Amino acid sequence: MELAIKAEPVRRPFLTPGVIILLLLVANGLVFAFFRFFFGIGSVTNLNNEFPWGIWIGIDVAAGVALAAGGFTTAALGHIFHREEYHIVIRPALLTAMLGYTFVALGVVIDLGRYYNIWHVMIFWNGNSALFEVGICVMTYLTVLYIEFLPIVTERFIGKVNFKGWLKSINNLLDRFLRFLNRNLNRTMFFFIISGVVLSCLHQSSLGTLMMLAGQKVHPLWQTPIAPLLFLLSAIAVGFPMVIMESILASRSFKLKPEMHVLSRLGRFVGPLLGVYLGFRLGDMVIRETFVYLTEFNLLTIMFLIEIVLGVIVPLRMFLSYKVLRSPNWIFTASLFVIFGVLLNRFNNFIIAYHPPFIINQYWPSVGEISITVGFVALEILLYRAFVMIFPIIGQPIKGYRPRTKYTIRGNMK
């Protein structure tokens, strides 16, 4: 017997001991961000001419884009393939993707020396540039994500606009506008959903193109002509584990029951997706004979083995286990392994495996870089908590509803 579920704002206190710690991390990151913008990028970073990309690009941007892939994978599964039973996790995945891509854009602004010229990509087009393709697709997809989130906003405030005082006169006008917006969005949303999936596939793969173009600067264990395909496959594979991880964390944080009837089904896709990625990764090594580098014992081979074993092989085996799929703790652990693997893959590609021909100063992230990155993550978590408390995003049991033998979803979960 299951309960009916409806997306509603979470009724919990915002401030907790954990939230206070996150606020301190955000404040620490903002201090270093202040120095970065008012005293120059060199005041807080160890980046140099040999290593122009560090953790702000490797983690904040490249890994951030991959870990936000749950938005387009769940949208494709629920809306394009019409799997209605997964609609309950689409809204949280959409929110995670929207916040993730927002902070990816902020990460680019932080990393650019002349951040005030970021608007150039919209005006000065270069169709031969892989970086241009990444930039224009990310900006367009971020716009699409905000449009996809608008129906949640209209649902929250339609019939509930109640300004007081001198703003009272606009209550009726604003409510009519929200209804008009909601009605027209419902008619055109299919276009934005399909566009979001297409745009995601484009820029996920183009990040791999950037590393492929680096040529001999990237170690052969990661340098491959199929890097765009590997980046895309790894992003697709990590999409559902991110949704599972986020859903279980949110359930624990807000003292809700995990939606295991959906998460277990979602987990069934992860094993085959990891298998496809592993097959292409190992097949490429065999064809190009780069496995010979594994006979060397150094940092590169250690990081590669950790990435493949802990980030792919171990979770692949776990997601093929019925016991893991049925257990909240085990499926959460397996999802963390996948997330760790993709995060380490991007870190390895952009930092560990990257070696310019003439190294004068070796790169290692500074305290300022780490602080801003940690501050970004903390702020994203805080915003997620605020959004789910304001908007109907997380599905919750309907109070007073009599249990049925089949799980049902009430309300517009799309």
Whole-angstrom Cα distance, residue 154 to residue 288?
53
In terms of Cβ atoms closer than 10 Å to its own Cβ (0-12, 13-18, 19+), residue 132 is middle
DSSP-assigned beta bridge partners for residue 2: 404
Contact 35, 366 (CB under 8 A): no
Q: How many helices (H) and strands (E) does the chain have?
A: 15, 2
Model confidence pLDDT, tens digit, residues 161-197: 888 888 888 889 999 999 999 999 988 999 999 999 9
Q: Which range has the top average pLDDT, 187-191, 275-279, 295-299, 356-360? A: 275-279
- CA quadruple 132, 134, 137, 139: dihedral positive or negative? negative
CA 186 vs CA 59, 77, 84, 201: distances in Å: 35, 18, 17, 24
Whole-angstrom Cα distance, residue 313 to residue 282?
12
Whole-angstrom Cα distance, residue 52 to residue 357?
14
| Helix or strand (DSSP H, E) at 319 | helix 314-319
**Per-position b or e across 16-39, b if 16+ CB within 10 A of its CB:** eeebeebeebbebbeebbeebeee
Quick one: pLDDT at residue 413? 40
For the domain spanning 5-397, the CATH number is 1.20.1630.10
Residue whose tokens read 């060397």: 296
Model confidence pLDDT, tens digit, residues 5-21: 788 899 889 999 999 99
Model confidence pLDDT, tens digit, residues 61-87: 999 999 999 999 999 998 888 888 888
CA 288 vs CA 179, 278, 281, 291, 306: distances in Å: 58, 15, 11, 8, 21
Q: Which of helix, strand or coil describes residue 357?
A: coil
Whole-angstrom Cα distance, residue 47 to residue 324?
42
Quick one: pLDDT at residue 410? 42
Does this model's pTM top 0.75? My answer is: yes
Whole-angstrom Cα distance, residue 348 to residue 352?
5
Whole-angstrom Cα distance, residue 110 to residue 54?
12
- CA quadruple 40, 42, 47, 52: dihedral positive or negative? positive
Quick one: pLDDT at residue 362? 81
Strands 395-397 and 5-7, sheet pairing: antiparallel
Whole-angstrom Cα distance, residue 34 to residue 47?
18
SS (H, E, C) 182-223: HHHHHHHHHHHHHHHHHHHHHHHHHHHHHHHHCHHHECCCCC
DSSP-assigned beta bridge partners for residue 6: 396
Model confidence pLDDT, tens digit, residues 88-142: 899 999 999 999 999 999 999 999 888 888 888 888 888 888 889 888 999 999 9
Cα angle, residue 107 at apex, residues 106 and 108 outer, rounded to 5°: 90
DSSP string, 94-123: HHHHHHHHHHHHHHHHHH-TTGGGTTHHHH
Contact 114, 66 (CB under 8 A): no
Quick one: pLDDT at residue 356? 85
Contact 9, 385 (CB under 8 A): no
